[in-house]
Amino acid sequence: MTRWLDERERRAWRGYLAMHAQLNARLHRQLQAGSGLSLTDFDVLVRLTDQPEPRMRMGELAKALQWEKSRLSHHLARMEKRGLVGREECAGDARGSYVVLTARGREVIEQAAPAHVESVQEYVFDQLSDEEVDALTAITDRVLQRLHDAG
Amino acid sequence: MTRWLDERERRAWRGYLAMHAQLNARLHRQLQAGSGLSLTDFDVLVRLTDQPEPRMRMGELAKALQWEKSRLSHHLARMEKRGLVGREECAGDARGSYVVLTARGREVIEQAAPAHVESVQEYVFDQLSDEEVDALTAITDRVLQRLHDAG
DNA sequence: CCAAGGTTGGTGACGCGTCAACTAGCGCGG
DNA sequence: CCGCGCTAGTTGACGCGTCACCAACCTTGG
């Protein structure tokens, strides 16, 4: 017996899908136009700069991003070609390798970040009350918890 | 002067990004495993079944989906190869063409929809209070409005 | 010390999405 | 009726993400 969505749920769901699609497209375009980075490049660089250490193991980075290793491998190969990241051999484990942020990578993300954050402010947080921000956090936490529990 | 995200905003934003990524991945996998459809195939078929008319112009469909024409063209070519949709010439306008849902397309989506909707219920709406559903709608409406205004 | 099994990361093929041309047909001013 | 601009949809190239598979290497039990 299927539980179809009722009218309120349907509205919320379609709104969510539309919002994500359009917001993502907009942020992507702006970031790309301003710096040549994609949103995924940005994620990678943010994780690398978050780190206290300048080098990071691939597996560790993959876990932080919640990406498959293969995806990360492909993506880093492309970013390496553009000079944004580099690779170093891993001393203790000859299978592994370190990812490092290049000077150029650091420069590019530092230049790109302000405008990107400003866009997020403008399109999202400027539109929301404090209560709505909290509600959004509650919603995402709850759904993430459920996804996690369902394994 | 950049307005960086404060701690609450940062939490909400990272949560939102993580939720979308994981929810999408999960729904995609389940739909794919159950029916061979991707989420985008599903969207296309939903729009086609929403319609009172069995045929729909490409441009009209593109607008409903908010897709670029080129994307729709590529995607329909692939769906056509799999027998989910067909194309018909357009009588009044020799440039245009109609997209039609095939019998197989109808069959596949009718079989796929219940499990997909059930997943959405399980992961999302079962986790949310009525107030949160309303908050989600308010948030998406507001952000969509802003995106629209910023054109 | 060695074999078995797990782990780390990479590869190739394929479907997808975007951008920038492009083709073909419509329609309007002259 | 011609020509020019507009619109409908297509195509090709390229970057991206996934899947299936692989090679190299570590680790552990014997």
8 Å CB contact of A18 and B135: no
Q: How much is the average pLDDT of A61-72?
A: 96
The pLDDT tens digits for A3-50 are 899 999 999 999 999 999 999 999 999 999 999 999 999 999 999 999
Q: Which residue has the tokens 């929810």?
A: B23
Residue of B nearest to A141 (CA): B15
Low-confidence stretches of chain B (pLDDT beneath 50):
none
- Domain annotation covers residue B5: no
* pLDDT score for B2: 79
Q: Is A87 helix (H, G, I), strand (E, B) or coil?
A: strand
- How many separate domains does chain A show? 1
Entry pTM: 0.92
- Domain annotation covers residue B134: no
- Beta bridge mates, B88: B98
Indicate which CATH number applies to the domain containing A35.
1.10.10.10
* pLDDT score for B3: 87
- Neighbour-count burial for B106-144, b at 16+ CB within 10 Å, e otherwise: eebbeebbeebbebbbebbbebbeeebbebbbbbbbbbb
Could you tell me the residue range of the domain that residue A64 belongs to? 20-117
- Domain annotation covers residue B124: no
* pLDDT score for B145: 95
- Beta bridge mates, B33: none
* Strand C proximal to A63 Cβ, under 7 A: no
- Domain annotation covers residue B80: yes
DSSP chain B: ------HHHHHHHHHHHHHHHHHHHHHHHHHHHHHS--HHHHHHHHHHHH-SSSEEEHHHHHHHHT--HHHHHHHHHHHHHTTSEEEEE-SS-TT-EEEEE-HHHHHHHHHHHHHHHHHHHHHTGGG--HHHHHHHHHHHHHHHHHHHHT-
- Domain annotation covers residue B12: no
Nucleotide whose C1' lies closest to the alpha carbon of residue B77? D10
pLDDT value at A1 more than 80: no
The pLDDT tens digits for B74-112 are 999 999 999 999 999 988 899 999 999 999 999 999 999
* pLDDT score for A53: 87
Q: List chain A residues with CB under 8 Å of B13.
A: 120, 124
- Domain annotation covers residue A105: yes
- Beta bridge mates, B57: B98
- Domain annotation covers residue B111: yes
- Domain annotation covers residue A90: yes
**Mean pLDDT rounded to a whole number for chain A:** 94
Amino acid in the structure at residue A66? Q
Find which of A22, A23, A42, A143 to mutate to test the B interface (most B CBs within 10 Å of its CB): A143
Cβ atoms of residues B42 and B115 within 8 Å:
no
